[in-house]
């Protein structure tokens, strides 16, 4: 179980105990490295336990498709090994005009090239998959049955417990306050519970990443800003009512699916920020009710049980910053995941662990180069909903 006792020293320290920090620690510990995670609240308490559960390979660029293909392999493997549910119930993008269809055909071609079996289907086929859909305006849909969803609670906890079994230390309710640096070399971290000696630090604080970079004295421009995104869950309905994640860009950039408890979970593209405020808003509730019922009219019969907010930690191209920051030895960042950090985490962990233990990785980590902002080399915007 995670502890509040800070070890005196750790070879590697991960700041931030969300799914990204936890899976990085899990992967490093699995490879025999000495690693500690320091989390200011409790494991998962940042964006991770507030996410919409979705895991997809349907992206519009090669790097994200390849990384997510690997991530899905790892989600499958660890869900089987550790016994948490990862359901490959698919992602269904509803398309409403020729322009959208053409854009998705291009995405599908990229996905197919890397072995992701997405295909364009008819509105009627989409309705066979989700009989409750209103397809009166839908002209086609992009369907990949190997996308899926997982509970952030079960999965993050399983990765955390197994990381500990491999020897990682997970320290909760401990905030990193400052770095101890001598001649450009990290010597330790000052925390709210004392000091830890450490040589390698990974900034996995996502929405707070710029604050930790500032603490470390990093001058490289890595723009990651916190934006408030909200979500809802409804009362439970009959199991199997909405198996895949259903997406509609036409109707509010909405995404929705059914959780294993039976409620419909999801959100829309109602974004506020940059802000650290997380209070739920009436405007979001109005939008989510309107857009959800345009996609599935029967949802108007349901009560929303709970609404909450979390952060999309956004970069200008909605792709994360992953890699080594050369200003300090040895400082790494894996942050700025926008609306897709939960799904990416297992592959991100592999990339970061590869960089630390081997100095290179087979996955296309250069795409997420933290220096691209400084060089003005933004990537195409990552496909994002919500």
Ligand X SMILES: Cc1cc2nc3c(=O)[nH]c(=O)nc-3n(C[C@H](O)[C@H](O)[C@H](O)COP(=O)(O)OP(=O)(O)OC[C@H]3O[C@@H](n4cnc5c(N)ncnc54)[C@H](O)[C@@H]3O)c2cc1C
For the bound state, the minimum distance from the C-beta of residue 107 to ligand X, rounded and expressed in Å, comes to: 17
Max CA pair span of the chain: 65
Neighbours of 277 (CB within 10 A): 10
Terminal Cα-to-Cα distance of the chain (whole angstroms): 33
For the bound state, the minimum distance from the C-beta of residue 99 to ligand X, rounded and expressed in Å, comes to: 25
75 binds ligand X (CB under 6 A): no
Contacts with ligand X in 318-347 (CB under 6 A)?
335, 337, 339-343
- Which residue among 158, 231, 295, 296 contacts ligand X (CB under 6 A)? 231
Between strands 194-203 and 331-335, the pairing is parallel
Alpha-carbon span 262 to 216, nearest angstrom = 44
Stretch that binds ligand X, among 34-42, 291-299, 353-361, 366-374 (CB under 6 A): 34-42
Q: Which two tokens stand for residue 35?
A: 């690693």
Stretch that binds ligand X, among 75-83, 84-92, 127-135, 305-313 (CB under 6 A): 305-313
Measured from the CB atom, the residue of 133 and 212 that comes closer to ligand X is 212
Measured from the CB atom, the residue of 127 and 280 that comes closer to ligand X is 280
DSSP string, 335-351: E--BT-HHHHHHHHHHH
For the bound state, the minimum distance from the C-beta of residue 355 to ligand X, rounded and expressed in Å, comes to: 17
Stretch that binds ligand X, among 47-55, 88-96, 104-112, 274-282 (CB under 6 A): 47-55
Measured from the CB atom, the residue of 79 and 140 that comes closer to ligand X is 79
Q: Which two tokens stand for residue 31?
A: 């490879």
For the bound state, the minimum distance from the C-beta of residue 248 to ligand X, rounded and expressed in Å, comes to: 15
DSSP string, 77-101: HHHHHHT--EE---EEEEE-SHHHH
Q: Give the 3-state secondary structure of residue 104.
A: helix
90 binds ligand X (CB under 6 A): no
Q: What is the dihedral of CA 372, 377, 380, 383, to 10 degrees?
A: 20
Positions that interact with ligand X (CB under 6 A): 15-21, 38-41, 45-48, 50-54, 175-176, 204-208, 212, 229, 231, 267, 310-312, 335, 337, 339-343, 386
């Amino acid at each position: 179980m995670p502890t509040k006792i800070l070890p005196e020293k750790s070879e590697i320290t991960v700041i931030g105990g969300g799914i990204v920090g936890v899976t990085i620690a899990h992967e490093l510990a699995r490879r025999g490295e000495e690693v500690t995670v320091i989390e200011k609240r409790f494991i998962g308490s940042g964006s991770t336990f507030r996410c919409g559960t979705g895991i997809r390979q349907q992206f519009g660029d090669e790097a994200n498709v390849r990384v997510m293909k690997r991530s899905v392999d790892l989600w499958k493997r660890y869900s089987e090994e550790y016994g948490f549910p990862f359901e490959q119930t698919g992602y269904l993008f509803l398309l409403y005009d020729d322009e959208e269809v053409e854009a998705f055909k291009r995405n599908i071609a990229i996905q197919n090239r890397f072995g992701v079996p997405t295909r364009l289907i008819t509105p009627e086929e989409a309705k066979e998959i989700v009989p409750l859909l209103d397809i009166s305006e839908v002209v086609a849909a992009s369907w990949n049955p190997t996308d899926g969803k997982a509970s952030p609670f079960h999965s993050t906890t399983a990765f955390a417990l197994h990381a500990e079994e491999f020897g990682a230390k997970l320290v909760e309710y401990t905030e990193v306050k400052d770095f101890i640096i001598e001649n450009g070399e990290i010597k330790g971290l000052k925390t709210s519970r004392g000091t830890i000696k450490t040589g390698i630090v990974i900034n996995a604080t996502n929405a707070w990443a710029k604050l930790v970079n500032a603490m470390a004295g990093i001058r490289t421009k890595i723009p990651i800003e916190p934006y408030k995104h909200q979500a809802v869950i409804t009362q439970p309905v009959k199991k199997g009512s909405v198996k895949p994640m259903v997406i509609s860009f036409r109707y509010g950039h909405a995404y929705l699916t059914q959780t294993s408890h039976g409620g419909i979970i999801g959100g829309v593209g109602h974004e506020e920020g940059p802000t650290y405020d997380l209070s739920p808003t009436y405007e979001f509730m109005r939008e989510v009710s309107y857009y959800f019922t345009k996609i599935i009219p029967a949802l108007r019969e349901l009560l929303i049980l709970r609404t909450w907010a979390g952060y999309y930690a956004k970069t200008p191209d909605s792709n994360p910053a992953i890699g080594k920051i050369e200003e300090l030895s040895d400082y790494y960042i894996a942050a700025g995941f926008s609306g897709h950090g939960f799904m990416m985490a297992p592959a991100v962990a592999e990339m970061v662990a590869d960089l630390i233990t081997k100095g290179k990785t087979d996955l296309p980590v250069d795409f997420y180069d933290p220096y691209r902002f400084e060089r003005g080399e933004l990537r195409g915007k990552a496909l994002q909903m919500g």
